[in-house]
Structures are given as C-alpha cells and as structure tokens.
A and B are shown apart, each in its own frame.
Chain A
Amino acid sequence: MKFSFASVLSNALGGNAAWPAQWRSPEPKASYDAVIVGAGGHGLATAYYMAKERGLTNVAVIEKGWLGGGNTGRNTTIIRSNYLWEESEAIYEHAMGLWQELSTELNYNVMYSARGVMMLAHDRHDVETFKRHVHANRLAGIDNEWISAGEAKAFCPPLDVSPTLRFPVVGAALQRCGGVARHDAVAWGYARAASAMGVDIVQNCAVTGIRRDPSGAVAGVETSKGFIGAKKVGVVAAGHTSTVMAMAGVRMPLESYPLQALVSEPVKPFMPCVVMSNKIHAYMSQSDKGELVIGAGTDAYTSYSQRGALHISEHTLEAICELFPAVRRLRMLRNWGGIVDVTPDRSPIIGRTPVAGLFVNCGWGTGGFKATPGSGHVFAHTLATGEPHPIAAPFSLDRFRTGRLIDEAAAAAVAH
C-alpha cells in the first residue's frame, strides 16, 4: 500500500487495521539469478536498485539475523561527502545525490535531515589539512566551506569555542548539505520497496558455505535453510565479510574491530547540526527523538564481539564534555558496539573477486552508513553486468596488489 496523505488518513479512520506487512517473509526458493548475503542497508539497497534499474527481481537477500540488525542499526547516522580523494568524493557524492530524494524514491520517510556537518579544527595541522580538503572539494564541485571559530559557534550555539580550552576550536570545515537520517528507516524503506518488486528477503538464514561448480565458479550458497542456487553471489556482510568470503577460499584484506556508539536520555532540542572532532574523537548530533547520539572510537584490538571497552567510551565523553560543557549532567542511556570491517587504506572494496560469480561490497569501516544509497546503486550495476560501475572501479580488491590505494585515513579523516 502506497504511503500517502490519503492512505494515512483513511487507515487512521479505520483503526489502522488494514496496513499490510511492509515486506514479505518468504521461504527461499531453490535458486535465484542472484543472491545477496547480508540484509543491511547496503545489501537491501543493492537488491532495490537491481530490481528498479536493471529489472532483476529474481533476487534473494539472505540474512543471518534480522534485517537492518547489523551496522545499519548501530551507527551514528552521519551523512557527508567532503572526502579528500577524487575516488572517494565520487562515490560519497553519488550517495549524497541519492539521499536528497530517497524518501520520495522509496515512498518511505527516511528523515534525511541536511542540518550540516561541522568538522572542528583544533590546531595548525588540522587547519592546513581541512583547508586542503576544502580546496579539493571545491575543485570537484563538492559543498564544503571553511568557517572561523566564531562562525562555528554561531552555527552551533552550545559549542564551546573559548580559546582557553585544552584543544581550542580554531575553525571548522562545514558541509551544509551533510546531516543525518533515520538509520532503521533506510533498511526498512529499501526492504519494503525491493520486496514489493519481487525481491525475496529471507531472514534467520545464515550462510554456512559457498558452493562452487567444477570450473570454480559460484553455484550457490549453503544456508541454515538449505542450499540456494545462484550464479551470482554478492557478499555485503560488513564486519563478518571475511568469514563469509573465507567459505569461498578468499582471504580478504580486512580487519574487524568493535566500534562503539551511545545515546543520552532524550532532551528538548539542544544542538542543530552534526559536530565532529577527529582530533579529540568526538562525534555528536541530536536525534529527532531528542537523544544526543555520540560516536566513540574503535577498540585497539580486533574482535567480533559487538561490544567495546569502557575506557573507549569514557575517552569520547571527555571530549564531548570539553566541547559541550552543558552535557555533563545529562545521562548516557545506552551504549553499544558494532563490528566494522577495516581495509588497509580505510576505503571500501566494491567489485569482483578471484572467484567467478562471487562479488563483494565491504570495507566501509566506520563510515558506511552515509554511502548506503550510492554503495547499493553501484554494486547493483556490478552484480547485474559483472563489470564494475565506473565510480566503483577504483575500489577494486585488486588495488591492494597493485598499490593503487585510496587512503582517506592517513591525515585527518580517521573517522568517516
């Protein structure tokens, strides 16, 4: 049922008894044209664009747990595209373009809110680095500007910019079109739209093996619900990508780390934008419900446990209290972790693998949410055609052999 004023009103009058399920919950068929492993935002977006733009609807998205239950539902929902390298600029800006109309496209309000993302500079090194980012973005026609500490304060009044801070704010890079969205709604919106076009979303279905034919090409996946045949398999399993890919004998250049986030108790509107400080590890915005949403760092050690160490959160909250002294009496309500898959150059891997028919979209590290529409869109192209989308081509697995790296992490953009 299409969401519209009329349908909302008529359903309200009818006691909301007629709303149908937002997606079907089918048992898997014996085979599909393509199987996508992982029903997070990226996997569901991939299926959606395959169906929508390529007419490929004989597709299943299979999910070990529940859809949207991984990093899609655990991140701090920051959206921006002011990256340094042109390859990154291209893919994140591609996503940024899709975010603008996503609610309308999906007929699902994903609450994309372009409230501005402000990245704080605290010293000369930051200033020079951020200005270089701004220049690079200007060259590429991407929204990003440099503002003074005073302008930062005007844009985000609760921010403390006094020069006596241990790490005073000396300026900021501001991307006004950046912002946040409702993470769960992104997964649900894609799931609903993809399902409506015929894509099967199969939850509680863990992949236990990847079957290959005598030529070595992919023949399908073994799952907890039996074998599912498919000539094309796309693995979009975030922190667990390396374990899934190992089932096909492919060793990925990935390390998985716990990354933490937390929210405060809900309060009335406090801050109007997203504020990030890479230098002192503080990332904060306020959800529409009123909770302050705070991103913490990764643990120092690799792990698959979806939890992090206490001192990592403490460290982030120290920085938050420095920048926003009014939050100290507010309380932390929930603190959780997700598993992020990190590549050596902190950029994603999107494309073919050494196994024919097996494709992968992973390595988004700490910054995957913002890319969701763009990632799904280009990966749909790859799964449909077998060839990388031009925007995805630089993000090949092969680059770790050739050395053609896209290193966003090195200078300042450690957290995406």
Chain B
Amino acid sequence: MTAGRSFRLASGGLVARDAPLRFSFDGADYEGLAGDTLASALLANGVRLAGRSFKYHRPRGIVAAGSEEPNALVELGAVGRREPDTRATTAELFDGLSARSQNRWPSLRFDAMAVNSLFAPLLGAGFYYKTFMWPASFWERLYEPLIRRAAGLGRIAEARDPDRYETVHDHCDVLVVGAGPAGIAAALAAARAGAKTILVEEDFVAGGRLVADRREIDGVGGAEFARAAQAELAGLPNARVLVRTALFGAYDHGEYGAVERVTDHLADPPPFAVRQRLRRIFAKRCIVAAGAIERPLPFGDNDRPGVMLAGAVRAYLNRYAVTPGTRAVVFADNDDAARTLADLALAGVEVAAHVDPRPGAAARLTAASGVATRAIEGVVTRALGRLAVTGAASVDAAGAAWRVDCDLIAVSGGWTPSAHLTTHLGGKPAWREDIGAFAPGALPPGMAVAGAAAGDFGLADALTGGWAAGARAAQDLGFAPPPPREPKVDPDAPARASTLRVHPGARGKVFVDLQNDVTTGDVALARREGFRRPEHLKRYTTLGMATDQGKTSGPLGLAELAALEGREVSDLAPTTWRPPFTPVAIGALAGAHVGPDLQPTRLPPAHAVAVEMGAVFVPAGPWLRAQYYPQGAESGWLEAADAEVRAVRAAAGVCDVSTLGKFEVAGADAAAFLDFAFANPVGALAPGRVRYGLLLRDDGMAMDDGTVARLAPHRFVVTSSSVGGPAAHLHFDFQRQARKPDLDVRIENVTSQWAQFSVAGPRARDAIARVLDPAFDVSDAAFPYLAAGEARLAGGEPARLFRLSYSGERAYEIATPAQWGAGLFRALVAACEELGGRAYGLEALNVMRIEKGHVAGSEIDGRTTPRDLGLDKFVAKKKDFVGRAMLSRPTLLDPARPSLVGLRSVEPDARIVAGAHLLAEGAPFDARHDLGHVTTFGHSPTLGRWIALALVKDGAARIGTRLRAVEPLRGHDALCEVVAPAQFDPEGSRLHG
C-alpha cells in the first residue's frame, strides 16, 4: 500500500506549494497543489490504480502525462455537469474537484466484472461476429442488451448541462500549434517579423517537453525560457498565446478548429462565464509543432498500474515534483533512457535495473548517466503484480531470466511525430528510417511542421527548425524575416530514434491497445482470419478506436502486424487519423446555438401589433406568423377563420404577408435574366405592371411561385413564397453566377427590408385609399388589376402598391420599408374594421386559396410539374428558361399523372384531412387502389362545407365523380365530390368587384 504517504519531492516542479487544493477520488479525500493535474495529484498521494479496462476490467494506472493517456479515465462533475471519460492527465486540479472511477462494480479495487478475464479465450477479437446467433431471436432480447450494458465506459450526464459555450472566429497570418520549444521559436520568429500570430497550446502551461525535462537554453532553465517567451508574445500587439486550447482539426481553405477550456479549471467560475469556447481559426499559414508521442513497449501484463511511459515519468518528476514510484526498472530501446535514469536518480528513486535489447546499449547508457544500476541487455518479458506492479521479469541476451522487484516500470519504444493534423486533409504519413517512425508526409497548402512533429527530436534542432518555419511563413506573407538566432542549449544526441520493432520474449497477455483491451493475441487472430490491412485490423479488433484514437497503440499495432507478416513496418500504411485530435465536448461544437437560439425566429415588422391583437401564431419555416386573430367569443381556429373569411368576402380584410421572399432585381439585362429564371414570359412585362411568376427546377418540376413587378424599365421587384425565400435566393444567385454570368443584373434579397400586407375584399380599395397619400389615384382607371407602382402613405412614407389577388377578391398588396410596417398594419386594420372587415391570418388565407384553387407549398412539393398543377398555361412556348428541356420528357406529359383537383365533402360536416388517400367508392384500402392524396384542406364558410385540394390520377377526367378520402390513423373517411380546383367564383368576376 502506498496511499497515505506523500510522494511529493521536497522541492522543484511547477507546482505552488503555498496553494494546497483539496480533491476527492472515489469518495476519499486528498490534497494536491495548484499546478497539478488530477493524475499528478493522485500519484503524489500514492494512488496508482485509476481505472478499469473496457472488456476485461483489468486494473489500470496512469500511463502518460498528457492527452495521449489511454487508461486513467475518470468521471468528473455531477448531474448536468457529469462528464465521463475524462483523462486524469489533462484534468487541471482545482479546489473541490471530485472524481470517480468508471466501469467497475462494486469498487475499483474489487471489480466483479474482472471475471471476464477468465473467459478471455472466448472473448477474443471479433468474437461477437461468430456467436450470439442461436437462436436468432435472442440477439435483441438477450445478447445485445447484455453487451450494451457491459460496454460503454462512463455515464452520460443526467440532465441538461447548465453551462454555456460560445464560438468565436479568429483570423491570423500564422497559426502555431503547440507551445513546445519548436512552437515557441516559430511563434517568436513570425511575431517578431510582424505577422499576426496565434500560438495555441492544449496544456495549461506553455513549454511542452521544456517543462517536463531538465533542459537549459541560453543559460536559463527550459521552464523559465518558455515563461519568458510567453511573456514576450503576450506583450506584442500582433501575437496571442492561447493555453488550454486544443487544436483538434485542420479543414479546407485554411480553417482550423480549436477548443479553449475557459473555466474547467476554476473551482468557482465567474457567473455568466462560458465553460468552453470553440475557436474557428482562419490562418494563412499554419506551423504544426505538436511534438511527438512516446511509444510503449509490449511485454506480458504491460497494463499493470506502475507501467508508465518514460517521458511521463520524467514529466511527473520534473514538472510536478512527484515520484511515480520508489524503485524503478527502465525498459527502453533508445538512448533517451539516459535522461530517464538520471532524472530518477536525481529524484532519489532507486533504479533497480535498466533493460535495453540493443547490444551494449544498456551498459553504455547506464555508464554515461552515472547511475548505479544493473544493466541488462535484454527485454522485460512480464510485469508482476496485479493492482500494482511489484516487479519485472526479464530475460537477457544470454537467455538468463531475471526477476527485479520494483513498483515502477518506465518504458520507451521511441517516439512518433504527432502528425495527426497533417493528415486531416488527406495527407499520408511517410516512414522515416532514421528516426524509426512515421512522420508527416506531403503537407496541405499553407502548412509546415517543425520540431519533434517534423522528426527533429533534438532540442537545438527544434529551436532552429521552429524559428526557420516561423520566419519562412512570415516571409511568404511579405514580412521581412527576423535575423536568425543561434540558441545555446545543453547538448543532446538524437536520443529518441528507435526502430519500431517487436522485441521477442514477451510472456502472457500483452496489450497493444490498453483502453480497448486489444492484445497481441487479438492481432494475431485477426491477421490469421484475413484482417491483414491495418484498417481491417483496426475495425476487427477495435485497435486504435478508443478515446485516444490509438495515439500510443497505433504504432505498436503496426509493429506487431509487421512482425507477424514478416514485413517491415515501413511497408504498412498507418490507419487514418480523424479529427478531432483530442475529443471535443459536443456542447462546445454546438456553441451558443441552443434553446431559442438554435435558429433565429424571424418576426415580421408588425409582429408586435399582432401580439397586441391577441393573434395565435404558428411557425412557418423560420417565421412566426399569425394563424388567426380570435375576437369576442370565438373559441378556436375554426370559428375565427370562418369569421375572417366571411369578413374578407363581405367587406375587407388585411393579412400580413411580410414573410414573402422579396428581391430587387436591377440592371440593363434584368428583364432578360428574369425571363430565363421564370418559366412564364415576365420579361415582356410593361413598366407599372405585375404578374404571376413560376419558377421551375432544372428537371422541370415546379419549384416555387410568386410575382414579378416592373417598377421601371431596368428595375423589378420579385416575390417568392415565404418558406421558399432562401431557396429562391440561392436559385437566382446560382442562375446569375453559373448560367448567365454575362448579363448586367444585380439581385438583392430585401425580404427583411420591406413589410407587406395584402388587403382584400369588395371594400379593399376604400381601405387602401385611407392609408395612402390622398393624391394617389387608386381608381380602377388609374390603377387597374395587375397594376404596380410606387406611392406614398398618408404620412409621406414611401410605399409600393401592387394590385394582386390570392383570395379571389379585389385585392392589393402594399409594401413599405420595415420601420413603418407596424404603423401601416395598424392603420390598415383600423381601416378594414371601419369598413366592417378585420385582420385575417394564415388559416383564412389558406381557406380562400383552396376556394380559388391556388397552389402553395403542399402542392409544389418538388414532384409536380406545371401541367400537374394546372399551370401549364403560364409556361412560355418560345423563350428558353430554367427547366424547359426536361419539361418535355414523355412521362411528364403523361395525362394519367396525378393532377390538381378540388374536393368538397358531400356531407357538410365530414372533414377531409390533409394526407388522406383517395380511393374509389367501395375500393379496398390498399396500394393498388390508391388514386392520390389530399394536399391541403380547410373549412369553407363560403361553401358551407369542408373543401380540399388533391393530386389525383387522371384528375381532370374525374371531375364530377365521387371519391373517398381515407385517413386510417384517426378514422376519417369522407365521401367527396371531385370538382375543378377553383370552386368559388371560377370566372374571377370578384377581382374587379
């Protein structure tokens, strides 16, 4: 037992000894220091058992000191803030932090599920593909629920996350990823040259290996060098250093995704502070200085708590002043071991043995480091112990077996450049024999790599390489490069070069992917079964699919596969790294777009007036529109809408149609452009006139409809439907840019700039006259049907007037700039009410358009042609227009195609509902007898019954017959009469009434 004792060194490290922090793990209370991670604080308290593995529930400890940690995943927070699968090695300690272990029952020390290990031979790679099939029905009822319950690591939050997130956009000349020595040098070079520079670092301290190793640059310690550089950059107006900011992805066109942890490390975040901030960084140049990731070495039970990467051991010793063990074995196949030996010895940790398989290397490095220890030329074959390492079994070159007592095995299989970001845009890493690793290959435009990420493992090389990359990036962008600098550093050989080979001799269960419990046996089995490509191996065994995305296991898996195949690692292609480099909170990616801000709610300018009037609203696309305006005792939509329709048909009504898509189209070729964009000949329109406009898609299907008004020879105002506005805008712009780039035409979307109201009914002219400048002549002689023009309101405000009708009544549409919209609506409502009318909403609008047989979105559903909708009379015969060629395809001309008809219920009270299917009387309810469907319905007070529009096979031929409208869900079955689409005033006499 180690708990209860302090493993904190008496001095050193970047921890604040005067700032103790209380925290708990699995309910036990501990104390750490400011500057600790949860992992270092646990180690300082002698807690080395941190979690259980995914499949076999094996006890696991802390392996790494950064975001590559595969094992030590814990749960933080509670209720809505519960955060599963959090790496203890990156969780910054704060006072009151409470962490729990995961995936164990009943406790971390005694986990009953560890019984799975006994069945390991049955649970090998891909076992589930071969089993659980008998009987087949048991898969869903028994096997799958069992597997699901066993799988998964942590537990998701129990409630809505109360914290806030936000997204910001940063723009810079040079983005530097990673504030290790290379990144610091690159950022200094770029920033001193004058380039706008951003340096991001995922850790909460800048420095990278400079704070993990004992190094000197220009006579100062590495940590001091990093601190000074950070201060210098912070003082430059053109540079920023963002710590706690993980760059997780590279995207096209110089976009990078980063997430900044703003308050995760604070015990009491300030109110209203965001928890995390997504930074979308747009950079002209990017320098990836993300360092390198150390590789473990495979041996039996290499997953025991106490087996730790050598670089992590040094980080705990030097940065956190914590000894992760008291008696260590160092097992490495590269010269970096010398540094590990020296640091352990300096911290007073006894080094029991140094094991290195390379001939003579152990003795040479041991001698060079001056550490008194046993040098073994050989390999560690197995870690001993269960809940913690108690020793290492080893075999030397002569075949002699050694057993060494220890509680720490520091391993290093060399280092692999962190090339992840260089591959997100499709680049492939390339093998570098000199360093024994895959390094960045071809780079995307604007990206460079420096330091260990580029395979330059030496400190001097990192500094000069980083400086050169920063200077070059600045120079590329036109900045004068700063003078080169020659830092003086303590000497280091290219110590980390290794061979990425499997050293034979391992005994027992050897883990390749620690988190997903993938062993060398699994790799061998998968290969035997034909999964010989790294991508297949990954998918069959799940190697590299854990939350660390194979940062430490990937190279090991490749080496294992290469050994089994008898091939060189360099012959294999590593699996593709996906964004994000490190997992990113989904809430951060969603940012502030939550709740009501998910998408803007668009409100027409007169919305407040409708609210005052007690309107009931309905969402229509992004808009909120008035559905009806109940008055007096009207109890619901049906009564109110009936009354509104009657008022319009008898006197005058006003409807807010500000939501229509509105476009100004201007230019010498505006008429020619609109003639191409619309299926009907709108270009021939005379100034001062307006007409219906029909838009088709390329395939000849109706897309949307609206109106086109010509205000002046080169100036048009176009409307689309409300919901179709954004699509119409894209359509117009696409046609202009792609199809008609030579035309002199400009298109402006002015949907929000204008309020617009429809005034309809026999007294509509009187209503309109009351709000207009009295000088404006609205007589039929001066302003006949389909006239359009510019006018002034009674108060002198500008307005546009169109004589259009959707309801079938004499009607006008009047528009005014948005700021006068509410006033105009108020005035129109007053005018209509004085004339015996009232405001009407979407419901009444829909009823009247059904009465008139006008189509809308429910009929223009992307599957109907102008002919289907009875609009073929509008389609031009002579000119070219979008959709023309495809419109004449034979099937589109088939007379049997479903076409638009009107329906009215035979029994006045029998409701026809939208979506009902139409069947012949007496026909059974099946697909063969299906004749069509109801697109929209309403109650017509004018006709005194339920009416509808429908698309029916052989529609025209069925007019005068009867059909059943059947809706099985609610049991509606209405007998209806098929009629022409325009059921009311088919001659259109009321337009002029």
Q: Which residues of A pack against B, CB within 8 Å?
A: 3-5, 7-9, 12-13, 15-17, 19-23, 25, 66-69, 73, 86, 89, 101, 103-104, 107-109, 111-115, 123-125, 128-129, 131-132, 134-136, 138-141, 146, 160, 165-167, 182, 184-185, 188-189, 203, 264-270, 280, 286, 288-290, 305-307, 309-311, 313-314, 317-322, 325-336, 344-345, 399, 401-405, 407, 409-411
Contact = CB atoms under 8 A, between A and B. Distances in A.
B969 interface: yes
Given A5-B134, A68-B539, A268-B152, 20 more contacts: A4-B134, A16-B121, A108-B129, A109-B130, A111-B128, A124-B618, A128-B858, A134-B969, A135-B917, A266-B152, A266-B153, A267-B155, A288-B151, A310-B255, A314-B590, A318-B594, A325-B160, A329-B82, A333-B583, A403-B891
A135 B892 CA distance: 25
A290 to B, nearest CB: 3
Interface of B: 54, 77, 80-85, 121-122, 124, 127-134, 136, 139-140, 144, 147-149, 151-161, 163, 165, 167, 249, 251-252, 255, 257, 278, 280, 424-426, 521, 525, 528-533, 535-536, 539-540, 542, 545, 547, 549, 576, 578-580, 583-587, 589-591, 593-599, 601, 618-620, 698-701, 857-858, 861-863, 886, 889-892, 914-917, 925-927, 930, 933, 966-969
Contacts of B862: 407, 409-411
Given A22-B529, A268-B149, A409-B862, A109 B131 contact: yes
Contacts of A410: 701, 861-863
A317 B589 contact: yes
A17 B701 CA distance: 61
A16 B525 contact: yes
A68 B539 CA distance: 10
B590 A402 contact: no
A103 B129 CA distance: 9
Contacts of B889: 401-403
Sorted from nearest, which 4 A-B pairs have the closest CB atoms? A410-B862, A290-B152, A328-B587, A403-B889
Contact of A135 (B160, B531, B596, B915): B915
Nearest to A263: B545
B547 to A, nearest CB: 5
B133 A103 contact: yes
A305 B584 contact: no
A166 B585 contact: no
A335 B578 contact: yes
A336 B890 CA distance: 42
Nearest to B531: A22
Chain B CB within 10 Å — which of A3, A19, A104 has the most?
A19
Contacts of B83: 329
B161 A325 contact: yes
Given A5-B134, A409-B862, A329 B587 contact: yes
Contact of B530 (A25, A111, A336): A25
Contacts of A411: 861-863
A318 B593 contact: yes
Contacts of B280: 310-311
A318 B598 contact: yes
Contacts of A309: 251-252, 255
Contact of B147 (A73, A134, A288, A399): A288
A332 B586 contact: yes
B522 to A, nearest CB: 9
Contacts of B167: 314
Contacts of A108: 129-130
A331 B151 contact: no
Chain B CB within 10 Å — which of A73, A139, A189 has the most?
A139
B85 A329 contact: no
B585 A331 contact: yes
A141 B925 CA distance: 10
Contacts of B886: 403
Contacts of A269: 148-149, 152
A66 B699 contact: no
B143 to A, nearest CB: 9
A267 B154 contact: yes
Contacts of A139: 917, 925-927, 930
Given A135-B916, A139-B926, A335 B249 contact: yes
Contacts of A286: 148
B160 A3 contact: no
A115 B925 contact: no
Chain A CB within 10 Å — which of B152, B595, B699, B891 has the most?
B152
A330 B916 CA distance: 42
Given A69-B535, A310-B257, A409-B862, A5 B131 contact: yes
Contacts of A132: 914-915, 933
29 contacts: A13-B121, A107-B133, A112-B139, A114-B140, A128-B858, A140-B926, A146-B969, A184-B539, A185-B129, A188-B129, A266-B152, A267-B152, A289-B152, A290-B152, A317-B589, A318-B598, A321-B594, A322-B594, A327-B157, A327-B586, A328-B586, A329-B82, A329-B585, A329-B586, A345-B699, A403-B886, A403-B890, A405-B891, A411-B861
A399 B886 CA distance: 12
A330 B139 contact: no
Nearest to B699: A344
A294 to B, nearest CB: 9
Contact of A23 (B128, B530, B967): B530
B127 A8 contact: yes
A124 B618 CA distance: 9
Nearest to B585: A331
B425 A12 contact: no
Given A131-B967, A280-B598, A325 B159 contact: yes
B443 to A, nearest CB: 16
Contacts of B133: 3, 103-104, 107, 109
Nearest to A168: B619
Contact of A310 (B165, B249, B595, B601): B249
Contacts of B158: 326
A61 to B, nearest CB: 14
Nearest to B890: A402
Contact of A167 (B134, B154, B160, B598): B598
A340 to B, nearest CB: 17
B136 A101 contact: yes
A331 B161 contact: no
A262 to B, nearest CB: 9
Nearest to B933: A132
Contacts of B699: 344-345, 405
B131 A336 contact: no
B425 to A, nearest CB: 7
A5 B579 CA distance: 40
A266 B85 contact: yes
B704 to A, nearest CB: 13
B156 A267 contact: yes
B153 A19 contact: no
